[in-house]
Amino acid sequence: MSQAPALLRACQVTKRYPGTLALDAVDFEVRRGEVHVLIGENGAGKSTLVKLLAGVEQPTQGCLESDGHPITLGSTRDAAAAGIGMIYQELSLFPNLSVVENIFMARERTRGGVIDRKAENQVARSLMKKLEQDIDVATLVGDLPLGCQQIVEICRALARNVRVLLMDEPTSALSPSEIEVLFRVIRELKAAGVGIVYISHKLEELMEIGDRVTVLRDGRLVESAAIADVDVSWIIDRMTGRRWAPPEEHQERTGHEEVLRVEHLSVPGRVHDVSLSVCAGELVGVYGLMGAGRTELFEALAGSRAVATGAILLSGRRIDHLPVRARISQGLALVPEDRQAAGLIPTFTLGRNMTLASLGAHSRHGLMSNTDEAASVARMIAQLRIKTTGPDQPITSLSGGNQQKAVISKYLLTKPRVLLMDEPSRGVDVGARAEIFEIARKLAADGVAIVFASSDLHEVLTLADRVVVMAGGRLSASYSRGELSEQHLMAAACAKPESLHVNAQ
């Protein structure tokens, strides 16, 4: 008995950009009622392929088929008409519009030629209930934290009657409990016959939710297989083209010279009475679920969020009165969680983005030294292994992971004494994640204090010398390396911290 045609198929698709071959004669298909995992290192061509399937881009060569028949997707509107929905890695929301307006943007529910707000609100609230969220659908999206915006993006896709759902890093800003809910929804969609293309760098996640896996490397198809027939090491071997080895055992560092002290810091409605001390050469993890207050704490330390009470001291000097730029010059820098909104200027090149925060270090007598700037950019490209055609490449044409490396490079060039990193591996593949970890370890070995926020248990357990846990805007626990365990961290992250006053020294 012959198998039914694929819901959606790419046949020998090639995509060329000026100076870049993003995809090279790739075959790919998604079948009814399956999750087809698409995996590869940053720059492998994953996002380019799903953009072709979503009508965002068109192939240079090759064609697409739907149910065995040729199909042309000249736009996202064509893809929507064909029953293809997309959840993007980089959120495509309108911050000045409400949640419900974003969910129904360009496909409003109407009655008698007028937008039916009552029907839209009802559907939006039912989607939030399905995802077990209590987000008010009348809230402006720009007022929501990144994780909640990710939920809105998912609701936007689910509101369509899709046959094929393309999901590019859908869990990158979600907590473990929210990921469990999303996986339940995915299984329901599978049972209804929807075909799902799923991109993620979280390999354990792929093994749990996937039915089939396809690996891309340097724009080419490496291999496809059933998930039941492979393991994590098989995937990594084919992603990287080299034999996978487990990460090196953690070497704990203990700092002696205090470089950062936070005393009774509060941010209205977000952070409550946080005290924290970090020594030079320490790697301190800040763990917590979405809404715990980690991002707000980091923004307050960096100067981009107003503080109600408390003090911030850098090497014994108070800096809480200083603006962001002055704090950077004093040696405190923040790699933000949302690289698109807060880390990059999309109209600038890779090189110009990398040197934005360190212009003074690359100028002489008030004039930029092109030679010094070029040398710094070249060093960072090599050190962080940024996959690029050169410093003049537009930043938006890089993969998400390479954009993240560019943001990290920007703040490394400021030569920080304290480097805050908010979800540093968000949207970064396993190879690049290991490289970022190695950079963090080298910086710590050189005496830089690293404080990183993460909702990834494995990341915290792998990298941190010490972990503080936040819940409800407060510190709920503090653990030394020897005390760390998944059970302890999760219990503290889910605690009701109203009565807790943890001093994380």
Residues 214 and 231 in one domain: yes
Residue 1's pLDDT band, with cuts at 50, 70 and 90, is very low
In terms of domains, do 36 and 124 share one?
yes
pLDDT at residue 254 in the model: 55
In terms of domains, do 472 and 403 share one?
Answer: no
pLDDT category, 362, cuts 50, 70, 90? confident
Select from 1, 15, 90 the least CA-distant residue to 53: 15
Domain-embedded: residue 349 = yes
Confidence at residue 355, expressed as pLDDT on a 0 to 100 scale: 93
| Co-location of 216 and 264 in the same domain | no
| Domain shared by 38 and 59, yes or no | yes
Residues 282 and 298 in one domain: yes
Same domain, 176 and 187: yes
Predicted local confidence at residue 479, as pLDDT: 93
Distance from first CA to last CA of the chain, Å, rounded? 67
Residue 499 CB neighbour total at 10 angstroms = 7
C-alpha–C-alpha distance, residues 71 and 52, integer Å: 12
Domain boundary among 240, 261, 277: 240
Judge if 348 and 325 occupy the same domain. Answer: no
Q: Tell me the average pLDDT of the chain.
A: 88
Q: Which of 82, 235, 286 is nearest to 165 (CA)?
A: 82
Closest CA to 185 of 199, 170, 173: 170
Domain that holds residue 184: 8-240
pLDDT in the model for residue 502: 57
* Its pTM surpasses 0.75: no
Domain count of the chain?
3
pLDDT at residue number 451:
97
Residue after which a domain boundary falls, among 415, 435, 461: 415
Q: Specify the pLDDT at position 277.
A: 95
Q: Is residue 248 part of a domain?
A: no
Chain segment 173-215, per-residue pLDDT in tens: 777 778 888 899 899 889 989 999 999 877 888 899 999 999 9
Residue 3 pLDDT class (50, 70, 90 cuts): low
Decide if pLDDT at 253 tops 60. no
Is 230 in the same domain as 281?
A: no
**In this predicted model, what pLDDT tens digit does every residue of 468-498 receive, in sequence order?**
999 889 999 999 988 888 888 878 887 664 5
Give residue 304's Cα distance to chain centre: 20
pLDDT class for 437, splitting at 50, 70, 90? confident
The residue type found at 81 is: A
What is the rounded average pLDDT of the residues 112-125?
Answer: 93
Q: Taking residues 140-150, report their average pLDDT.
A: 85
293 and 381 in a single domain? The answer is: no
Please check whether residue 3 lies inside any domain of the structure. no
Query: Residue holding tokens 């979800």?
Result: 423
**pLDDT value of position 244:** 46
Give the residue from 365, 381, 415 where a domain finishes. 415
Residue 162 lies in a domain: yes
User: Tokens 């046949």, residue?
Assistant: 11
Mean pLDDT of 240-267: 71
3-state secondary structure string, 412-431? HCCCCCEEEEECCCCCCCHH
Q: Is residue 179 part of a domain?
A: yes
Q: What's the pLDDT at 504?
A: 60
pLDDT of residue 242: 56
Which pLDDT band holds residue 251 (cuts at 50, 70, 90)?
low
Does the residue 336 lie in any domain?
A: no
DSSP SS3 for 230:
coil
Confidence of residue 154 (pLDDT cuts 50, 70, 90): confident
- 454: in domain: yes
Which residues lie closer than 8 Å to 313 by C-beta, 6 or more apart? Answer: 260, 261, 262, 263, 319
Looking at the fold, whether 28 and 131 belong to one and the same domain comes out as yes
* Structural domain includes residue 266: yes
What is the domain-level CATH number for residue 135?
Answer: 3.40.50.300
498 and 360 housed in the same domain: no
Looking at the chain, the whole-number percentage of residues with pLDDT higher than 90 is: 53
What pLDDT, on a 0 to 100 scale, did the predictor assign at position 117?
Answer: 93
Amino acid at 195: G
Half-sphere exposure of 139 (CA within 13 A, CB side): 14
What local confidence, expressed as pLDDT, does residue 499 receive? 46
